[in-house]
Amino acid sequence: MHPKIPPYLLYADDKGQIFEDRSLLVAGRIAVDTVRIPAKDFISLPEGSDFFHLPGRLAVGYDPKTREFRVCRKGWAVAAFVAPAYTLTHQAAWITEADAPRLPLYAYAAIGWTEQGFYTTAFRIDPDIRQDCNQFNQVYVEKNAKLMLKANTDNRLLKHLSDCALVYLCPAARNYFLNRWEAPLPTSPTCNSRCVGCISFQPKEHEISSTQNRITFTPTPEEIAELAVAHLETAPNPVVSFGQGCEGEPLLVWQTLRDAIVLIRQRTQKGIINLNTNASKPEAVEALCKAGLQSIRVSMNSVQEANYLSYYKPVKYSFADVLQSIRTARSHGIWVSVNYFVFPGYTDEANEVSALRRFIADYDISMIQWRNFNIDPEWYAEIVPPAQPASYTGVKHLVDGLRKEFPKLYHGYFNPGSEIIFHHNDK
């Protein structure tokens, strides 16, 4: 539901208490520009979203009396971390003081308040409820995890996933212990990218912490297959996925993945085996496709080579390798999703949009997963300077345009199960 008028600006004190400033309306950030946000671009804050107050940053709002942007000096800026399945359209607007700390690895959506409640700038891209917060009962997660660990004390991957579910509250790991939908299969302790916003490894000079610990071992094919087969055989609409936030790049242990896939398919033909990857090793993708891989998700901040390289900082692979991996997967009939990091003002910038349209057509992409980019916006602007002169279409307008131009292209947030992969392209 949209508000009748744009909501009021929010600010916070040092303790994180949030207040409204009724003299200002919420403004937004598109790339590095501060912009007005029409009421139609706001939705009620989705259940499961979080509030952030941003130390060292003063909110910028729009003054309807003077018709100018103005800094709110009553407290610190406030942003929303929007619940999964929602794609943001505007980031929060602020000015940063000289001694402000770098922001942690989250996405920072604009947020405001009216008498009807809190509103943010996003739209639901995926109807799938698999990570909606009202789908989780942590009591059952803990109970099931303890029972499974007691029944199987030797599987190291099971122990790792229990930490993910019980310590980090990872939605994918929690769903695994609730025996439903998509189950994670982390495998690789190392990576061949040096992504600036890596959530499992951050060098000390970045002055921020990774949001989760990386797996420290490579499970055996038997350990992987033991968990995967049980999930595929019993869970509704099951998917098992290599490549998680708590690991490096799974293609670096592709032989283990290949052997695990063979073991899995010897025991069950149910469900989907998926790989989340940087797609850096085409020969490994070829081998995994031949072994029985059915779906691959390639993470990208941009389909323009220079922007991609600036963020991913590849080690011993090239942008051409990524493209070749995608082409290889499609040549085997594999479902190819792009895990597209959405940053308003970059994702919908005119040059990026043109490049994306060519990319979708040239590589016959199956799906775009419109994932919010978890990074300090000002840090990213230093790494990848925004295009000049600026020209934006709007994220929602971009998605709507692609739906019309590419009617078989699937749009969402999560890795799809067999009901989509096997039937969507038949429509």
Residue 71 DSSP label: E
Q: Are residues 261 and 333 part of one domain?
A: yes
Read off the pLDDT of residues 394-414 as tens digits, 9 standing for 90 and up: 999 999 999 999 999 999 999
Q: Are residues 372 and 287 part of one domain?
A: yes
Read off the pLDDT of residues 254-265 as tens digits, 9 standing for 90 and up: 999 999 999 999
Residue at a domain's end among 81, 101, 124:
124
Question: The domain that contains 207 carries what CATH number?
Answer: 3.20.20.70
SS3 38: coil
Count of all residues that appear for the chain in the document: 427
Whole-angstrom distance, CA of residue 194 vs CA of residue 311: 8
First to last CA, the chain: 30
Work out the average pLDDT over 64-81. Answer: 98
Q: Are residues 363 and 304 part of one domain?
A: yes
Q: Are residues 158 and 111 part of one domain?
A: no
Question: Which pLDDT band holds residue 425 (cuts at 50, 70, 90)?
Answer: low
Residue at a domain's end among 101, 124, 147:
124
Q: Are residues 143 and 107 part of one domain?
A: no
Q: Which of 186, 175, 185, 259 is nearest to 222 (CA)?
A: 259
Q: Are residues 87 and 140 part of one domain?
A: no
Q: Are residues 376 and 270 part of one domain?
A: yes
Q: Are residues 307 and 261 part of one domain?
A: yes
Number of Cα atoms under 13 Å in the Cβ half of residue 291: 21
Question: Which pLDDT band holds residue 170 (cuts at 50, 70, 90)?
Answer: very high
- Per the domain annotation, does 1 fall within a domain? no
- Per the domain annotation, does 394 fall within a domain? yes
Read off the pLDDT of residues 84-100 as tens digits, 9 standing for 90 and up: 999 999 999 999 999 99
SS3 345: coil
- Per the domain annotation, does 334 fall within a domain? yes
pLDDT at 22: 97
CA distances from 207 to 78, 199, 200, 210, 212 (A): 21, 13, 14, 10, 15
Residue at a domain's end among 124, 158, 191:
124
Q: Which of 123, 121, 124 is nearest to 108 (CA)?
A: 121
Read off the pLDDT of residues 301-319 as tens digits, 9 standing for 90 and up: 999 999 999 999 999 999 9
- Per the domain annotation, does 2 fall within a domain? no
- What percentage of the chain has pLDDT greater than the value 70? 99
Q: E-strand spans in 31-109? A: 33-36, 43-44, 50-54, 57-63, 68-71, 76-81, 86-88, 91-92, 94-96
pLDDT at 4: 84
Whole-angstrom distance, CA of residue 31 vs CA of residue 346: 6
- Per the domain annotation, does 230 fall within a domain? yes
Whole-angstrom distance, CA of residue 158 vs CA of residue 143: 14
Domain, as residue range, for 95: 8-124
CA 41, 420, 292 angle in degrees (round to 5)?
A: 130
pLDDT at 126: 98
For residue 175, is pLDDT > 60? yes
Q: Are residues 154 and 98 part of one domain?
A: no
For residue 48, is pLDDT > 70? yes
Whole-angstrom distance, CA of residue 362 vs CA of residue 354: 12
Work out the average pLDDT over 90-114. Answer: 97
Q: Are residues 414 and 379 part of one domain?
A: yes
pLDDT at 213: 86
SS3 67: coil
Residue appearing with tokens 């029944």: 151
The domain tally of the chain equals 2
Q: Look up residue 375 and give its amino acid.
A: I
- Supply the mean pLDDT for the chain: 96
Q: What H or E segment, with its residue span, contains residue 55?
A: none
Q: Are residues 277 and 171 part of one domain?
A: yes
Whole-angstrom distance, CA of residue 314 vs CA of residue 332: 26
Give me Rg for the CA atoms of the chain: 22
CA 288, 425, 280 angle in degrees (round to 5)?
A: 30
- Per the domain annotation, does 3 fall within a domain? no
CA distances from 419 to 181, 271, 273, 372, 394 (A): 12, 9, 13, 25, 31
Could you give the dihedral angle defined by the CA atoms of residues 150, 155, 159 and 164, in that order, rounded to the nearest 10 degrees? -130
Read off the pLDDT of residues 316-337 as tens digits, 9 standing for 90 and up: 999 999 999 999 999 999 999 9
pLDDT at 424: 66
For residue 356, is pLDDT > 60? yes
For residue 210, is pLDDT > 90? no
- Per the domain annotation, does 66 fall within a domain? yes
Work out the average pLDDT over 42-51. Answer: 97
CA 325, 330, 333 angle in degrees (round to 5)?
A: 135
pLDDT at 208: 86
Q: Are residues 217 and 138 part of one domain?
A: yes
Whole-angstrom distance, CA of residue 221 vs CA of residue 233: 18
CB 52 within 8 A of CB 81: yes
Work out the average pLDDT over 203-230. Answer: 92
pLDDT at 305: 98
